């Protein structure tokens, strides 16, 4: 299988690196990117072919992976319109609907939409996937293989749910970092050295997330087990409840999903 990446940014780099670690041949990977530095970096790091523009060799592939910014996707796809011959097209551009990508490709429908998140950069990503009706099981398997090279995947059966995927997991690392920042600052204000507060906050988050991942118990049950009656954890959680922290988080994530829907309409124009 040959894969051509349109765009050579951070996520493309992560995916290429993940595929190479899994034993995927450098000869089966190529990148189209107008930036000289990006092409040199990818060729030097992974031995892949790189080119500044789409050419016949770039089109000689089974998979086209669209990894350019949503704002420039329409222009990036212009050289491909009407030239595809059955390739599976996977877009990792946030907010762009498959109907718009297909239209820009000249009425193409063998499309998959993917929303990876930034932990993919260290092989710990989470990707939501949606396949257009014209993608068969073989195509879905190919997409899973590619995206699982940088973490885990989950499918949704309605493209509208990709806005929720983006709001929860695509943007999710920022929420986690925000909470870690608050933990660090709380530790600092309580007298801990900054480096100690940072290590305590990060490792606590990593360990708790790992425990939630491997435990057969619900997250609510895990929380309850840490919360002794009249203890320190209960004192903290009482404040969180009084401040309606959970509702505020839900409202924030809902706002992210709403903004995703707005951006889909804006970016899909033209």
- At residue 268, the pLDDT reads 86
**246: Cβ contacts below 8 Å, ≥ 6 apart:** 240
Return the pLDDT at 207. 97
- Look up the pTM and report it: 0.93
User: Would you state the pLDDT for residue 260?
Assistant: 92
| 103 and 109 Cβ atoms separated by less than 8 Å | no
In terms of C-beta density within 10 A (0-12 exposed, 13-18 middle, 19 or more buried), how is residue 193 classed? Answer: exposed
The C-alpha atoms of residue 50 and residue 256 are separated, in whole angstroms, by 35
Q: Quick one: fold of 3-162? A: Rossmann fold (3.40.50)
CA–CA dist 7, 114 (Å, integer): 15
Do 150 and 116 touch, CB atoms closer than 8 A?
yes
Residue pair 112/140 in contact (Cβ under 8 Å)? The answer is yes
Cα–Cα distance, 56 to 184 (Å, whole number) = 52
- pLDDT computed for residue 224 by the predictor: 96
CATH 3.60.9.10 fits 172-261, yes or no: no
- List phi, psi (to 5°) of 182: -65, -40
- What pLDDT does residue 140 have? 98
CB 169 within 8 A of CB 128: yes
CA 92/CA 77 separation, integer angstroms: 14
Residue ranges, the chain, pLDDT below 70: none
Residue-level pLDDT at 267: 87
- pLDDT for 269 equals 82
CB atoms within 10 A of CB 10: 12
Domain ranges of the chain: 3-162, 172-261
pLDDT digits (tens, 9 = 90+) for 42-80: 999 999 999 999 999 999 999 999 999 999 999 999 999
Would you state the structure tokens that stand for residue 48, as one six-digit string?
């892949």
Q: What is the DSSP letter of 55?
A: -
- Tokens matching residue 20: 């190479």
């Amino acid at each position: 299988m040959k894969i051509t990446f349109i765009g050579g940014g951070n996520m493309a780099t992560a995916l290429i690196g993940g595929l190479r670690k899994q034993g995927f041949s450098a000869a089966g990977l190529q990148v189209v990117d107008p930036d000289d530095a990006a092409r040199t970096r990818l060729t030097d790091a992974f031995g892949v072919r790189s080119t500044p523009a789409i050419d016949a060799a770039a089109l000689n592939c089974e998979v086209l992976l669209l990894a350019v910014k949503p704002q420039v996707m329409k222009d990036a796809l212009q050289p491909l319109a009407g030239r595809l011959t059955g390739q599976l097209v996977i877009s990792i551009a946030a907010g762009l609907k498959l109907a718009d990508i297909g239209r820009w490709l000249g009425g193409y429908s063998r499309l998959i939409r993917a929303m990876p998140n930034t932990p993919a950069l260290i092989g710990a990503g989470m990707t939501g996937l949606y396949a257009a009706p014209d993608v068969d099981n073989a195509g879905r398997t190919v997409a899973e293989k590619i995206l699982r090279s940088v973490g885990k995947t989950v499918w949704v059966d309605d493209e509208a749910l990709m806005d929720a995927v983006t709001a929860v997991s695509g943007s999710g690392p920022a929420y986690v970092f925000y909470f870690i920042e608050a933990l660090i600052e709380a530790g600092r204000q309580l007298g801990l050295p900054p480096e100690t507060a940072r290590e305590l906050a990060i490792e606590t988050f990593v360990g708790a997330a790992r425990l939630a991942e491997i435990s057969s118990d619900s997250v609510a049950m895990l929380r309850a087990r840490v919360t002794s009656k009249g203890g320190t954890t209960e004192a903290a959680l009482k404040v969180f409840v009084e401040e309606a922290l959970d509702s505020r988080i839900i409202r924030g994530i809902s706002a992210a999903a709403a903004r995703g829907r707005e951006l889909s309409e804006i970016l899909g124009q033209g």
